[in-house]
Amino acid sequence: NSSLPDVADGGPIFTEKLKNWTEKNEKRIILSQIVSMYLEMLENTDKTKGHVRRISEELFTLKNSLPDGLKKLKDLADLAKLPMNDLKIQRKAVNELFSVLQTLVETQASAKKKRRQVQRRCKC
């Protein structure tokens, strides 16, 4: 029952998290996780009720249209666990540095190019 007074305790669960994710692709990642959590929550509910079944079906459809956020979260967690004081890890990281920087530059150039195209189209 979502009308009980304890629902307000501690503030929002998901909507507060969404504020930290500003880019469209970032939002899609966090939303894929949130939708998965709703589906997990609805797994054990009574699907004979039409509105519950429709919500579950709609969430499942949305989940299929979103990227696999769980894989991306796992990648981030794996990066956070890397022992950066390990000499082998440091050597491998230095070996990959040029490729990482090149990818970053390409990503930034692509974003700038898209911004310029949007600006040129608008003749307000």
DSSP string across 76-108: HHHHHH--TT-HHHHHHHHHHHHHHHHHHHHHH
What tens digit of pLDDT does each residue of 74-91 get?
888 899 999 999 999 999
> Contact 32/69 with Cβ under 8 angstroms?
yes
Instruction: Report d(CA 77, CA 72) in Å as an integer.
Output: 9
**Whole-number pLDDT of residue 112:** 63
pTM for the model stands at 0.63
**Whole-number pLDDT of residue 97:** 95
